[in-house]
Structures are given as structure tokens and as C-alpha cells.
Amino acid sequence: MKQSLSSLFLLIFAFSFSQIQLKVISSKNQKPIYNASVYCDDNLLGKTNANGELSFKTKCKKVDILANNFESEEADVKKLMQISLKPSSEKTGNIDRIVLTDKSDPKALKMLDELLKRYKENSPKALDSYDFKSYSKISIDFDKDSVAAYQDFMAKRTDSIKKIENRTLKNQNDKKKKDSLAEDDLTKMAQNNQFFLWEKVSEYKYSQKFGEKTNIIDNRMSGFPNPIYEALALNISNLNRIPRQIRPENRKIYNYYLSDTISLDNRKTFVIKFKEVNNKGKQNPRKFNGKIYVDAENFALKKIESSSKKSNEGNVVSVWKPINNKWFLDYENLKIRMGDQTFTTGKSNDTVKAGQKPKMNKKSFSNFLFVKNQYFDFEINKEQKSADFKGYALEVKGSDGSQLQKYRTDSLTTREKGTYVKIDSLVKKYDFDKKVSLFTNLMKGNFRYKMVDFDLTKIFNYDKFQGVRLGVGAKLNEKFSKTFSPDAYFGYGFRDHTWKYGAGLDVKLSEKRTSIFRVDYSDDVFAAGRISTALWDNPMKLKDLGVDLYNANFYQSKKIGASFLYDVSNSLTAKIGLNHENQKALFDYQYQNLGNSFKNVSATLSLKFSPNDKNMMTPGGKLTYEKKFPQFFLNYEFGSKIFDGELNYHRLDALAIHQFRSKLGTTTLKFLGGISSGTAPIWKNFEIIGQTNGSSENWTSKINTPSTLGFVTMPSGTFYADKFVSLQVSQYLPFRFKTIGKTYSTIELEYKTAVGNFKNPENHQFNFQVLNHNYQEVGFIWNRFLGRKFDVGFSYRLGYYQTSQFKDNFGLQIRLSGF
């Protein structure tokens, strides 16, 4: 019994002394403070008792102590702690009470509203013109305080690493060996050099008359002798955009508190603290994510300091300065944690239970992304020349690093200087540049192998007519020739048992802008009644890959054609074409008394106008690096009886897409319309795109895939018109939520409607309906369903075409998140 009591006493004693003992008192009268909260970052560790005492465990080196009507205190963690809190002033106490209730300060919100109201007039774009330059340095490295510790650790570990390498590489395949060697080389290199270094000098021009222009004067990226154009277009800054911390749509993400009034650069300045809203019951109410500094005279944004929710995860500082009473970005410093270098240092001394593997001691060093942007050489209201704004919004003038020294705002350190040489050799040794090229081309919908680009959209498709369609599409890229680019494709449908194929040749006529002459031939099948997608980008086309899941109304086209694609300006693209086609219906169809096959000679004009897009020219063609709205598309086709043509018709369709943000969330509007006249078979009119199998009794036939313009509840291949208009509205609600896992979900609401007519439907002898009444459907989409990487939607038909049967009126949609 005595032995048991002794063991219990030792256990209690050990447990007590393994915890931290804290006492909180008032500095004014030395009395204990009841209910003081103790936080480690955003985690509540506990609250003091009536004696002002609290016992807790934590791995944090510092904790925050908060109490009502007392000033908060940050303290170093020790085994025994006694903290004195100062009573707060009335003003500070009021702020404390506002913060502790976890609500934004109305005065702070009013001030932010005024800042946003005046943002445009305070912006440099309120001037007639300006130009300035920037120097950017982007690197990946350890925190400067950890470099010496890493070097010392690696020096002591060198011998053991060699032993581990010799023992483990014997049992690895070639790929794993190569990866292990690459990781080892990179680890050794990081002792005296950074993991990555990229310097860039840019020139920014603006004119009310001519628009915007960015010139990359020079850049040098470690490991890549040729520029990565997708990276050059990245904007890792708050230049010319409203920072996310003050956007009105983010008012539910942050809480704001008016904190202080200070003098900054000899100007009266308001300070607004903000914090990201998380779990309101547990988060530290005084652990702010940053501060917003607002100029008191004209309510301009002067500075933003922002930190991540977790300590040592990263921070951002952006500073603006007034020039000619307009506020220009002066400099930015960004630091973001990018992961850890973790090493095993041996077995742990902890007791291991039978059947368990021994724990290993590990040593970790955090890697960070560092970004420094410095802006200089400001010139205001300088006379601008139109020639300086020709071409695309971004132009690369240099990429060999020869001019960087001229513009550097600080000299490279010894650690930075060696990075270019070391990383260049590693990238070349392990072909990292090829992996980057592969990734950037996959983003465009291509798989690149040397001089060949394979079109991923040609590999697989499915529709009701062809069934499963497998194929290959390939195009020779700029590595083959800077002028000539031949391409070809073929595909086979396992339901119609027919081969489809095509080939063409692009001739590039300019290196400054898109100017391409093309000739091609194809023998393929197409859904009847679709608008032209000639100038759609890949994301829009990829959305429509499964749009004909239940549609069997296809026609064959054997076509030979020539076209010219030209960018009139950064915003306007035009394509003109001449085609000769042999067309034949592949479904039960007759047109008037002319049969179901025709020779068609036609001319086409397609236009795309995207006034806010930003583009750049690369060796592989134009790259749209910033897609903005609105977007306008127009297609006109004229069929003539010249030569051996048998059809005489006019066909016009137009599409407008606009997207904007507000306090209600993100809204997308799509307006679509078309008109056809003359002697035109059904495929030269318009199908209102339906996506369900309306004749099936099985609910699974209501499931369909995403589309750009389709109706989820409409039977496929059913409604046609020679004139129609359509409106589609989608609304992302301004909140997000978690279900399973760490991924946030969102809700999107949709409304779609279309109405049209058909002048002589009896001329088209097949089973279809004229859309001569308003078709309507509403729906919602659960994006990232249950925290997964796909979306699930439900839509329901309303109005004239609604039936009394529920199963006839609903449709389901499944799509990968992001489509």
C-alpha cells in the first residue's frame, strides 16, 4: 500500500511539474485577475481561476494574456510565470470590449468605405499618363536566422549522409535513384546558395488615350536560360489592384478595428487592425493578422501589414507614397513558408511498446519564398507616343540578365551570387526545365514531347452518335519551325464504326502578334445546330467535351478551307475563312425536297473583343496571362451558290459574357442570340443545347457533365430555332463552409432562360420541337462537394415547358472543381 501511494505521489508530482504554472495579477493593486485568457497563437489554452492562476501545457515559446479592462501582454513561456497586467485607459478598454465580442468596429468599416469610395481618384490611373520601373527579386531560401544553423548541421551530417546513400540506393529503381541523387545535390547546394533566385526589371506605362503597357526590360531565372513566359506574367504584388484585405466582398472573412491615430511620414494616419475570422469561440481575439494605414487627409491607402494566422508562416508589407497627390506603390516585401527540409537524426529515447516501431528524432529547417519589389523612376503626365503601346499588353525585351546590375536596388549577397551557377547546373543535370515545360503546356491542354504538341482534347470523347471516341491529335511546335506548323489528327467512334481525320498547316506571318494563314482538310462529324467556337479559349472548349452525351443528331462534313487569323489589337481578334464542304445528315432527316446531303460554299467572319484581357507574345504564340471580363464573340457565315454550292443562307450568332464581384458574391452573366435565314438545313440553324436524355425513365439519365451554354434539364437534340435569345445567370454566394476534410465548399445559384422561333419548321422533316415559348430552369451547385474535388448540381425546370411529372423536370450535373 505504501509503495502504491508513493508511486501515485510521484506521478502527481511529475505531472504537476511538467505543466506550466501561471499567475496573473493587476499591476495597480497586485490583486489576482479572474478569467484572464491565455492564447498560443489562435488556440485558447485556458482561463485563470479566482486566484488568477492557470496550469497548462504548450509548445509555444510565447503566449498572449488577455483580460477585460486590462492591456494585453505577450510573455515568454517559463515553468513558473507571474504576469502583471496594466489597467487599460477608457479608450483602449472600449476597443478591447469591441474586439472581445468579435465584431468589426463600425468606425473602421466606415473609414474603409470612404477609402474605397476615393480609391479611383487617389489611384495613379486618375492621371493623364505615367511611367515608372520596378526591380523584383524572388528567391527561395531558409530564414536568414536559420542559415548558420543549417550549415553547421549539414557539416556534421556529411559522413552519415554518404553511408545512408550507399546503403539505400542499391534497392531503388533508376527513377528513385535519380530523385534521391537530385534531392541530395540540392540539399548540399543549399549550404552556401539559395534554392532559387529570379531577378526581373520591368517598365510600366499608362496613358488615358493609349491604355497600359508593360515591358520586361531584363530578367534572369536560376536554372532556366530561356524565359518561362507564364512566370513572367505573374503579378506577385498589389500593383494596380485593390488588396484583398480591404475588398468589400471580404468583409465576412475579416474583422476590422480602429486602433490608433499616428504620424507617418509627417502625415496624420489612421491605423485599422484586422484579423481573419476563424473559429469564433477559440481564436485569440487580440491576435491580429495585420494593420491597414489610411491617410487622414484624403483617405488613401498608405500601407498594409499582413501576417498569416499561424506564427512564422509568412507576412506581407506593401507601402504606397504620394506623387502629384496620387498614391503609387513604393515597395513590397513578402515572405511565405514553402515547406520544410526534414532530416532523421536517430532513434528517439522514448519508451517503445511491444509491436511498435521506434520513434525517430527529426530536425527540420523551414523554407520560405521571399519577394522584394521596389518601384522607382516615376514620371508623371509625360507625353506618350502611340508607338510605345502597340502590340500586346506585355512585351519581353530582354532575358539574359545583362542589364540587371544597372537596376539593382541592392547588391547580391555572396549566397545569392552562387545561386545562378549552381542551380543552372542542377536543372541541366536532372532535366527540371523539361518538367516545367511539360506542366505549362498541360495548362494549355497540350502534352509536349520535344517538337510535338499532343492535343489532350482529341484523346477521348463520348456522344450518343459515336459512342466512345478515341484518337490522337498532334502539332509541330516552334522547335520544328518558327514559321511553319503542320498538324494532324484522327479519331475512331466505336458506335458508328467510322474513322475521322484532318490535317492542316499554319504559316506564321509575324513574330510581334498573331498573324496566321492556315489551310486545312477534314472529314469529321459534328452536332447539328451549334454556334461557332472558333475563338473560344481552351477552358471554354474543355467544358463542352461531354455536351453531346445524349445527342445523336450529327452530320458529316468533308471540308477543305483556308483562313486568316489576325489580332487587330490587344483586345480585338478577327478570323476570316473560305470553305468548301460536302455535308450529309447522319440521322433521319430531309430538308424540303432537296434530300439530306449538300455541297456548301461559304465565307465566315469571327470576332472576339476582350477589352480588359492582358496578352503577351511567346515563341509558341499569344498567351493570355490575365483573362478579364466582359468578353464578346460574334460569328457571321454566308453560304453562296457560287461554284458548285447548293445553299444560300446568312447565319449570325453573338455571345457576351460578363463577370463581376459585389457584396453578394461573384456574378456571371451570359447573353446569347442567333438568327439564320435563307436556304439552310437544320445544322445551319440553332439547337438550344439540352443535356438530358428526356425519353429515359431511369433517373441516372438525368446526370450530365458541365457545359458553357447548355440547359441541365432540357432533353438533348430536341429544341431548334432559326432565331433565339438566351440569358444565363450564376451567382456564387459570399460564404464558404467545411464538411469533411480541410477543403472549403461554396454554393452557386443558377438561372437560365431561352426563347426563339422557327419560320418554316415544316421544311425540316425530322422529330424536333420549336422553342417558341420561354424555357426556364433554376438550380444550385455545391462546389467541392463534401470537401472533395468535384461539384454536384441540381436543376429544376419552370414555366411553360414544366410537366406534372417531377422526373421530367429535374437534371443533375457532376463536374470537376474549376470547370
Q: In 693-768, at which residue ranges do the beta strands (DSSP E only) sit?
A: 703-704, 711-715, 719-721, 723-732, 737-738, 744-757, 764-765
Q: What is the CATH number of domain 509-816?
A: 2.40.160
Round to whole Å and give the CA distance between 591 and 679: 9
Residue 440 phi, psi (nearest 5): -65, -35
What are the residues facing 580 on neighbouring strands? 560, 601
Torsion of CA 36, 39, 44, 48, to 10 degrees: -20
Q: Band of the pLDDT at 366, cuts 50, 70, 90?
A: confident
Amino acid identity at 383: E
Neighbours of 699 (CB within 10 A): 10
Alpha-carbon distance values, 772 to 671, 678, 813 (Å): 18, 20, 26
Mean pLDDT of 600-605: 98
What's the confidence (pLDDT) of residue 414?
Answer: 87
Cα 324 off chain centre by: 35
What's the confidence (pLDDT) of residue 735?
Answer: 85
Give the mean pLDDT of the chain.
86
Round to whole Å and give the CA distance between 778 and 785: 19
Among the CATH numbers 2.60.40.1120, 2.60.120.10, 3.40.47.10, 2.40.170.20, which is that of 2-88? Answer: 2.60.40.1120
Is the model's pLDDT at 716 over the cut of 60?
yes
Round to whole Å and give the CA distance between 545 and 553: 16
Round to whole Å and give the CA distance between 64 and 57: 14
What's the confidence (pLDDT) of residue 309?
Answer: 65
Number of H-type helices and E-type strands within the chain? 12, 47
Alpha-carbon distance values, 253 to 277, 279, 467 (Å): 6, 11, 47
Burial of 463 (0-12, 13-18, 19+ CB in 10 A): buried
49, 36 Cβ separation under 8 angstroms: no
Is the model's pLDDT at 86 over the cut of 80?
yes
Q: Band of the pLDDT at 670, cuts 50, 70, 90?
A: very high
Q: What is the pLDDT of residues 724-778, one digit of tens each?
A: 999 999 999 988 888 887 788 999 999 999 999 999 999 999 999 999 999 999 9
Round to whole Å and give the CA distance between 214 and 616: 10
Q: Band of the pLDDT at 507, cuts 50, 70, 90?
A: very high
Cite the DSSP H helix spans in 501-642: 538-543
Q: Band of the pLDDT at 436, cuts 50, 70, 90?
A: low
Q: What is the pLDDT of residues 437-461, one digit of tens each?
A: 666 766 677 888 889 999 988 999 9
What's the confidence (pLDDT) of residue 97?
Answer: 43
Range from 11-15, 417-421, 545-549 that averages highest in pLDDT: 545-549
Q: Do domains 2-88 and 509-816 have the same CATH topology?
A: no
What's the confidence (pLDDT) of residue 182?
Answer: 62
What are the residues facing 499 on neighbouring strands? 492
Is the model's pLDDT at 165 over the cut of 60?
no
Cα 715 off chain centre by: 33
Secondary structure element (H or E) that encloses residue 437, with its range: helix 432-443
- The domain spans of the chain are 2-88, 120-142+198-347+360-430, 509-816
What's the confidence (pLDDT) of residue 12?
Answer: 38
What's the confidence (pLDDT) of residue 458?
Answer: 92
Mean pLDDT of 409-423: 87
Round to whole Å and give the CA distance between 788 and 791: 8
Burial of 497 (0-12, 13-18, 19+ CB in 10 A): exposed
Q: What is the pLDDT of residues 369-395, one digit of tens each?
A: 999 999 999 999 999 999 999 889 999
Round to whole Å and give the CA distance between 731 and 640: 43
Nearest one of 608, 594, 609, 675 to 641, comparing CA atoms: 594
Residues 6+ apart with CB under 8 A from 308: 289, 314, 315, 336, 337
Mean pLDDT of 619-628: 89
Is the model's pLDDT at 174 over the cut of 80?
no
Among 35-44, 199-208, 742-751, the range scoring the smallest mean pLDDT is 35-44
- Sign of the torsion formed by the C-alpha atoms of 766, 769, 770 and 771: negative
